Amino acid sequence: MAPLSYNKDLQAVELPGTRRPGQTGIYRRVGYENELLVVPPTRPHIRTVYDTFQHGLLTSPNGPLLGERTFDPVSKTFGSYEWETYVEVAARTTRFGSGLVHLHQQTNGLSEPAQRWSVGIWSINRAKWSMADIACVAYNLVSVGLYDTLGPEAVIYGINHSECSIVITSVDHIASLLHDASSMPDLKIIISMDSLKAGTPAVPGHASAGSILRTFAADKGVQLLDWDEVESLGQSHQRRHTPPRADDTFTICYTSGTTGMPKGAIITHANLVATLASSEVANPLTSDDCMISFLPAAHIYGRAMEVILYSAGGQIGYSSGDALRLLEDIAALRPTFLPAVPRLLNRIYARVYAATAEAPGLAGVLARKGLATKLANLDAGLGNKHALWDQLLFNKVRMALGGRVDKILTGSAPVAAEVMSFIRVAFVVDIIEAYGQTENTASATSTQREEMEAGHVGPPSPNTEVKLVDVPELNYFSTDKPYPRGEICTRGPTNFPGYLKDEKKTKETIDEEGWLHSGDIGFFKENGTLTVIDRIKNVFKLSIGEYVAVEKIENQIATRLPIALQLFIHGDSIEACLVAVVVPDPDIFPAFVNKVLGGNTIITNATYQDPKLRRAVLKEITTAAQSASLKSFEIPKAVLIEPSPFTIEGGTLTPTLKIKRQPVVQTYRKHIDELYREIRSGADPKL
């Protein structure tokens, strides 16, 4: 089947006779009104993730698959990417998987090898993460992604909850696992991705780190091996692959909730293949494609992108693990495909906009003229390419992403229309905006590469049907004009079967008719494209009776506020207005401080509390909000300047870089209360 044809004016239809009181009818993508897509139409033999890897192996046997940058420990610098081919990865994962099966059988005293037992994987994205995952698939084992931001208690919970007897991890996590081993009775084996060979000790006369860890493990009754040892075991005890069935569990993805322990979402092989099927017809990848892997592999979005790409025989290069080095990694890899998240795009936008449209002198004049011309063409439906301006200016801008990126996929949260349009013309790139969540395998709606209109997330994916359900307590109704609004509900083969060992939460999420209730608010336009407004839990009523959607407001202001690295907006239902926390951009903010306070101001912690500076920042926020045509009650009336950024490690960002609202509120509660006292008293800022 050829890729989907694109018709801007009609992308999805509401199926006749499907409307009910309190909800819209059911929307399906044009061309899939009668049947949802379950398997890739040009590769119908692909039914499991095992099949996807085997197809990639047949497509590009000697082609590069997994790449990592070399590292010089003396100069502490990274070099170029080195690659392992599909054939090499296939051989290594067979050896490693055989070693896993042998260890499990031997440790548990089994006469025959077992299947479908859980294996924890805990590290940053790297080649061995993916190889461990591929090995699990080959022997029908269930991979369980673990990650730092779950917190120590939640990692222990995940290992116990999923009954992991083996955890594969990087060396930096081994000591903490062993320290808490008594709290994890199922954990019997830890496998280090890094070598534990006894080498020259760091201090002469002392034991090496590897031997210390092995002694610690022995004391805890845990078997500790490194990756190479498991591969060697597998070489000596090689096992035939035991491929999974479509309805077998592929992975357990733990969701990073803001309260309580995370939920373990069960994702089947059929779920992932259905996501692949939609990608094949809507936005296909090929063996010529190369992607940067930096979105956490423990999350389904990043993992699904890797599976989709290796099913096509493409290449996956891993970031070096430092967010500050990500653009350097991208430039070194020169990918063609960039899976991203809104906060990364907002960051790229702020940096490139400042370097082009706000540049001084002739360079700025040319950049503004080029951008204005290309944006006008984009609005007129003439595409994002321009022979003169691309040659003169924008081909140089493209080099910031390596010069080869021709498609960017973004998901996890809305992106402001201005950001989307700017990146489309500045990088001469197609942007695919998708919407989904863990529970529907990151696949609910998506735009196509041909789409140049920003501000929506496209029609339902070919594998999904969507409806909107009234949320009366927030004044969202399917009868609203000009567009029906309500909670976004999805149904199709990507919907997960449920949460591991949690029937109650499963029933709260998927109703008796199979509809997944997302907790998001959206509306459908006449052409069948969906726009996501906000999370239900992020929409609330101020004391003046007005409803506000704070994430939408943050996105609208942040894209027009270059002095801010991060922006958090908060409102209390007992208050009449909003307040803001701004984390300043360290590259841009110093010049702003000098402009406001004069001279060469030395910035200290006291500087951020300066009333004059805070008033100036609030004025910038107000100007940005007015530029976005926000209503008066949507504009914050007081601001805190916070020099320390929100971080994943600090528990204030999710692994996909979304702000975790409740932890931020808890952290800044005293400051928020003081902001409201300032507003009520009409006093100058005192923070």
What whole-number percentage of the chain has pLDDT above 70?
96
Classify residue 277 as exposed, middle or buried by CB count within 10 Å of its CB (0-12, 13-18, 19+): buried
Q: What SS3 class is residue 299?
A: coil
Largest CA distance in the chain: 80
Is 0.85 surpassed by the pTM of this model?
yes
Write out pLDDT tens, residues 25-38. 999 999 999 999 99
Can you tell me which residue has the tokens 């702000």? 659
Instruction: Answer whether residue 517 shows pLDDT above 50.
Output: yes
Instruction: Answer whether residue 200 shows pLDDT above 50.
Output: no
What whole-number percentage of the chain has pLDDT above 90?
75
pLDDT of residue 116: 94
Classify residue 80 as exposed, middle or buried by CB count within 10 Å of its CB (0-12, 13-18, 19+): exposed
Structural domains of the chain, with CATH:
12-27+315-536 (3.40.50.12780), 54-311 (3.40.50.12780), 544-681 (3.30.300.30)
d(CA 507, CA 504): 5
Q: What SS3 class is residue 88?
A: helix
- Where would I find the beta strands (DSSP E) of 426-556? 430-435, 445-446, 465-469, 485-491, 498-499, 516-524, 530-535, 539-541, 547-549
Instruction: Answer whether residue 258 shows pLDDT above 60.
Output: no
Instruction: Answer whether residue 250 shows pLDDT above 80.
Output: yes
CB 49 within 8 A of CB 250: yes
Write out pLDDT tens, residues 567-611. 999 998 888 899 999 999 998 899 999 999 987 888 888 999 999
Tokens of 186: 């199922």
pLDDT of residue 4: 74
pLDDT of residue 207: 62
Q: Which of 133-137, 457-461, 530-534 has the lowest mean pLDDT?
A: 530-534
Can you tell me which residue has the tokens 């929307």? 27
pLDDT of residue 279: 94
Q: Which residue has the higher pLDDT, 498 or 560?
A: 498
Spatial CB neighbours of 353, under 8 Å, sequence gap ≥ 6: 422, 562
d(CA 363, CA 360): 6
559: left (phi over 0), alpha (psi -120 to 50) or beta: alpha
Sheet strand arrangement including 27-29: 12-14, 27-29, 465-469, 485-491, 516-524, 530-535
Give CA separation, 237 vs 4, 240, 476, in Å. Answer: 47, 10, 61
Mean pLDDT of 472-485: 94
Q: What SS3 class is residue 570?
A: strand
pLDDT of residue 384: 94
Write out pLDDT tens, residues 164-173. 999 999 999 9
pLDDT of residue 199: 61
Residue 14 C-alpha from the chain's centroid: 30
| Strand pairing report for 516-524 and 223-226 | unpaired
Write out pLDDT tens, residues 638-668. 999 999 999 888 888 877 778 888 889 999 9
Name the pLDDT band for 202 (thresholds 50, 70, 90): very low
Percent of the chain as helix, strand, coil, to the nearest 5: 40, 20, 40
| Strand pairing report for 189-192 and 223-226 | parallel
Name the pLDDT band for 471 (thresholds 50, 70, 90): very high
Mean pLDDT of 463-467: 98
**In 10 A of CB 648, how many CB atoms?**
18
Instruction: Answer whether residue 118 shows pLDDT above 80.
Output: yes
d(CA 232, CA 98): 10
CB 621 within 8 A of CB 557: yes
Instruction: Answer whether residue 94 shows pLDDT above 90.
Output: yes
Spatial CB neighbours of 58, under 8 Å, sequence gap ≥ 6: none
CB 83 within 8 A of CB 66: yes
Mean pLDDT of 233-251: 98
Mean pLDDT, rounded, of the chain: 92
Mean pLDDT of 247-264: 84
Instruction: Answer whether residue 160 shows pLDDT above 90.
Output: yes
Name the pLDDT band for 537 (thresholds 50, 70, 90): confident
